[in-house]
Amino acid sequence: MDENNLLEIKSLSVGFLTHSGFLEAVHDIHFTIPQGKTVAVIGESGCGKSLTAHAILQLLSATCRIVRGSHIYWKEQDLLTLPELGMRKIRGGELGIIFQEPMTSLNPVYTIGEQLKEAIQQHKPCSRKQSHIEAIALLNAVGFPEPALQLIRYPHELSGGMKQRVMIAMALAGEPDLLIADEPTTALDMTTQAQVLTLLQSIQRAFKMSILLITHDFGIAQQLADHVIVMYAGQIVESSSIDHFFEKPLHPYTQQLLNAVPGIEKRHHRLAVIPGVVLPLTEKITHCRFAARCPHADKICWEKEPQWNLLDQNQRVKCHLYDKHYPVKKKVIEVSFNSASLITKSAADAKSLLTISNLKIHFPVRQGLLKRKRSFVKAVDGVNLTLYEGRTLAIVGESGCGKTTLAKGILRLLPISGGGIHLNDQDLAQLSLRRFRHYRQQLQIIFQDPYSAFNPRLRVSDIILEGVRTLQKKRNLFQEESLLQSLLEQVGLPQDSADRYPHEFSGGQRQRIGIARALAVSPRILLCDEPTSALDVSIQAQILNLLVDLQKERNLTYLFISHNISVVSYLAHEIAVMYLGRIVEYGDAKTLLESPKHPYTQLLLSAVPTIKKPKEIVIPVKINHTDLPSAANPPQGCHFHPRCPFVMERCKQEYPGMVALNPSQKVACHLYEN
């Protein structure tokens, strides 16, 4: 064993006992984590990356079994032979862990100080005073402002990013040599994510520890990792140092996955789609696990499992393409240009379809015995937007900025407090709900969470046709059937889906059902509320391609809500940036992404870890460690001023008006006035 290696995993296989047999979710993996380095494990959901982390920590569920012959060496000691008592000393101590969900990882009935001190005393018995001092030092290390005051706070008083910092501080309490971070920023906003990632980077240097980073995001891996491991169907298919990895991805799976990541430069391409599904792992597999989905697959791929091919000291791949004994010819994959390209008509040619003017949605806060309306949460506070026919307007912003409220307000699912929504010449905001029903079919919505979007007791056919049946006076079974079949075909679902229940489908398929349901009443405008944020990259590519196709076929207008800049830059024609209920910047997608003007837009764009960026990300604006303020009590003057690096005296006094910088870009910021 190499002296430098902290952790060495040798032929680890882990599986579940299921009704249909032993499901080997991790199959024969090898890797090492050297001292002081960051290793990223990348893969889509279900590839076994989290299970690997749990196996290292010995935190497996009761139905999990580690296959005999597996070894996990931690500093030359096999963890799998260690009794639970010995493991407890290592886990949380030398081996630290941060979980994905900071909301549930802290106990809500204890202050963060108590929880932190408990973690400290667990590994280093010391006096109360000593642990108090140490707790303050730890909070300081993870970038808490005024740590001494924060110790007496309860978890619910902190934002998600702050909770994740506490989790990191607790992991640091054990002075770990290796920190296992299981999707540490997936549940966080992009600006918070950027802060947590920079924090991880800096504490790694300060504490000289190793990190095992588990992620599905190439951008995060690019930013943090020294070495990347790609997992597919329970196997490691590629292992490479970070520089080689992004320069020259080897495995066809990695290549396709990288091509599936949307971005501005792919606007006129179709996103790469990996055909087929992951093969079932309950059977014994003797061929390449990716063969069925691989464009290069040859006879040998179906006969023999590929072995490791060492290309370079730092780059290994499990693929016959690189095998000297059985060379497989690489096929040229055509990238279909224009087949799904966005409609490129300029905004000037497009007809405006829906005009939102000064829309306000305020929620009353009732207090006291008589529940009087004391104050208002101004979730949407005077929004002006125009949707052009056949084009996509994207709304971006952090969670809690009012994006979803705006969409629900447009659909009149929430009461509107003021302003107008003009569809052609009809003001929808003025209509009574009864009269608004006639307009409902023109506006439809696709939801974010494909799991709560469908009534589990209804069959797919009933779900899709519900709207049609409501609108029709008389039922026409023949017409319904043909509509159903054509919708299923359009969204790419098998014809036999109609009689099945939503839980029988995967996340991506469910999102297709959601799209079919929305299309059933032939709407003109589709509100997409983060439709791909719950999906894997390769599935996301399929859905985005579908949305682009449908827009062309049906001349649909999209209002696309997202916090994912790369998705927005791929899909949107116009972008509006929203902050605390107001639009702060609006413009043509290309212009806005290339030259963001509002400091908030700049902050958002710099926070996105993209693959193309150099390793050391440069944040042009210094982020203040304050999180998004609450919409119930927005700051005086410009809402963004407490976080703004260019704040002026004027910003604290008055809210800036919208200034048109050029025909295709408007911004609400005092910097650009006059």
Partner 1 sequence: MNLSFKFVILPTDALLWLVFLIIMGFVLFARGKMQLAAHWYQVFHRRPLTIIAAALLGVFLSISLLDSIHYRVMLPQNNNSDPNFYDAHISSVFDKIVSPLGTQTEKTYSSPLSSDPDLKNHYHILGTDKIGQDVFYVSLKSIRTGIVIGILTTLVMLPFALFLGLIAGYFQGLADDIIQYIYTTLSSIPGVLLIAASVLSMHIFIEKNPLAFPNIAERADLRLLSLCVILGITSWTTLCRLLRAEALKLREMDYVQAALSVGVRKTRIIFRHILPNVMHIIMIVIVLDFSSLVLAEAVLSYVGVGVAAETFSWGNMINSARLELAREPVVWWPLTAAFLLMFILVLSANIFADAVRDAFDPRLRKRR
Nearer to partner 1, 277 or 310 (CB): 277
Q: How far is the CB of 513 from partner 1 (least distance, A)?
A: 11
Nearer to partner 1, 311 or 471 (CB): 471
Q: How far is the CB of 302 from partner 1 (least distance, A)?
A: 30
Q: How far is the CB of 68 from partner 1 (least distance, A)?
A: 29
Q: How far is the CB of 522 from partner 1 (least distance, A)?
A: 11
Residues near partner 1 (CB under 8 A) are 19, 408, 411, 413, 437, 440-441, 443-445, 447-449, 452-458, 463, 466-467, 470-471, 501, 503-504, 514, 517, 521
**In sequence order, what DSSP letters do the residues of 328-387 get, joined into one string?**
-PPPPPPP-BSTTPPP---TTTSPEEEEEEEEEEEEEEEETTTTEEEEEEEEEEEEEEEE
Nearer to partner 1, 258 or 458 (CB): 458
Nearer to partner 1, 108 or 456 (CB): 456
**Helix 507-519 and helix 477-490, axial crossing angle in degrees, nearest 10:** 130
The rounded distance, in Å, linking the Cα atoms of 166 and 183 is: 16
Nearer to partner 1, 218 or 447 (CB): 447
Q: How far is the CB of 410 from partner 1 (least distance, A)?
A: 10
The rounded distance, in Å, linking the Cα atoms of 402 and 529 is: 12
C-alpha to C-alpha distances, 593 to 264, 313, 603, nearest whole angstrom: 9, 39, 12
Nearer to partner 1, 32 or 444 (CB): 444
Nearer to partner 1, 186 or 441 (CB): 441
C-alpha to C-alpha distances, 562 to 81, 343, 414, 557, 566, nearest whole angstrom: 47, 20, 20, 16, 10
The rounded distance, in Å, linking the Cα atoms of 91 and 174 is: 9
Q: How far is the CB of 485 from partner 1 (least distance, A)?
A: 20
The rounded distance, in Å, linking the Cα atoms of 214 and 11 is: 19
C-alpha to C-alpha distances, 23 to 66, 124, 313, 465, nearest whole angstrom: 11, 40, 33, 38
Nearer to partner 1, 124 or 554 (CB): 554
The rounded distance, in Å, linking the Cα atoms of 577 and 231 is: 36
Q: How far is the CB of 524 from partner 1 (least distance, A)?
A: 14
Contact 515, 549 (CB under 8 A): no
Q: How far is the CB of 471 from partner 1 (least distance, A)?
A: 7
Q: How far is the CB of 467 from partner 1 (least distance, A)?
A: 3
Going by C-beta distance under 8 Å and a sequence separation of 6 or more, which residues neighbour residue 461?
A: 484, 498, 499
Q: How far is the CB of 530 from partner 1 (least distance, A)?
A: 12
E strand map for 170-293: 178-182, 210-215, 227-232, 235-241
The rounded distance, in Å, linking the Cα atoms of 220 and 191 is: 13
Nearer to partner 1, 88 or 366 (CB): 366
Alpha helices in 30-127 (DSSP H): 49-57, 84-90, 102-105, 112-123
The rounded distance, in Å, linking the Cα atoms of 307 and 455 is: 46
Q: How far is the CB of 411 from partner 1 (least distance, A)?
A: 5
Nearer to partner 1, 366 or 652 (CB): 366
Tokens for 538?
A: 């390769």
Nearer to partner 1, 139 or 464 (CB): 464
Nearer to partner 1, 452 or 495 (CB): 452
Tokens for 648?
A: 């002026």
Q: How far is the CB of 499 from partner 1 (least distance, A)?
A: 9
The rounded distance, in Å, linking the Cα atoms of 123 and 546 is: 53
Q: How far is the CB of 69 from partner 1 (least distance, A)?
A: 31
Q: Which helix (H) or strand (E) holds 81?
A: none
Q: Which helix (H) or strand (E) holds 566?
A: helix 565-571
Nearest to 99, CA basis, from 218, 179, 16: 179
Q: What is the DSSP letter of 450?
A: T
Q: How far is the CB of 476 from partner 1 (least distance, A)?
A: 17
Tokens for 626?
A: 């304050």
Q: Which residues pair with 381 in a beta bridge?
A: 360
Nearest to 11, CA basis, from 75, 47, 55: 55
Nearer to partner 1, 520 or 568 (CB): 520
The rounded distance, in Å, linking the Cα atoms of 355 and 418 is: 14
Nearer to partner 1, 180 or 361 (CB): 361
